[in-house]
Structure formats: C-alpha cells, structure tokens
Amino acid sequence: DADVTQTPRNRITKTGKRIMLECSQTKGHDRMYWYRQDPGLGLRLIYYSFDVKDINKGEISDGYSVSRQAQAKFSLSLESAIPNQTALYFCATSDHGPSEGVQYFGPGTRLTVT
C-alpha cells in the first residue's frame, strides 16, 4: 500500500551495529505497528502505538526500541543487531470506527545481520 512507506527496503548490517528502520504513513491513522516475519512463524508483533504518547510492547520487544516522532512516523531501532534479528520487518497502521481491526501494511524491510 503506497500510503505506508518503509525505508530502507533492504539492509545488510554487521553484528553489534545500531540500525533504524523508518515508517511513514499518509492515511491519517492513529495506530501504528511493527512486526517481524520469519518463514514458518508468521508475523509477530514487536511494538505498537495508539498515538504519539502511547507506546506499548508487543510479543517480542526484547532487543528493539521504537520512537513515534509524529502521528505519521514510527521508527524501529535495533540497538545492537544480532544475527537472529535477520528477518522481514513490516510497519502497519489502523484506524478506529467501521474499519476497526483492519491493518494496512507497508512493503517491508528485509534486514540481514551478518
């Protein structure tokens, strides 16, 4: 969905490096999410934010941190990358009201930690 963009799309980094993944949305949604996808494991929630001042840990937050700089921007950081953080990372947004629960995903960032 072009309304949700992620940068970079691909990244290779070394163990121990700090890396930031960025997400921007033009949908005007309050809620934003970060997931990681691993083959055979589906999507797992890392962090989610209901507004700029409301950030919550998800299922697998260890080793990650986030920043909600504005309603439209939600960044994911790996403070010290390790190889088992190699995965496909997705940002998503959602709204409330009639479309409750429907999430809109960005194209993903493929991260490789060597």
Partner 1 sequence: AQSVAQPEDQVNVAEGNPLTVKCTYSVSGNPYLFWYVQYPNRGLQFLLKYITGDNLVKGSYGFEAEFNKSQTSFHLKKPSALVSDSALYFCARGGAGSYQLTFGKGTKLSVIP
Can you give the binding site for partner 1, defined by CB under 8 A?
Answer: 1, 4, 31, 35, 40-45, 48, 50, 58, 90, 92, 94, 96, 100-108
Q: Which is closer to partner 1, CB of 9 or CB of 17? A: 9
Whole-number Å distance between alpha carbons of 32 and 91: 7
Q: Which is closer to partner 1, CB of 84 or CB of 97? A: 97
Minimal distance, residue 15 CB to partner 1, in Å = 26
Strand partners, 111: 11, 87
Q: Which is closer to partner 1, CB of 54 or CB of 79? A: 54
Give residues with Cβ within 8 angstroms of 94, minimum separation 6: 29, 31, 33, 100, 101, 102, 103, 104
Whole-number Å distance between alpha carbons of 27 and 46: 21
Minimal distance, residue 32 CB to partner 1, in Å = 10
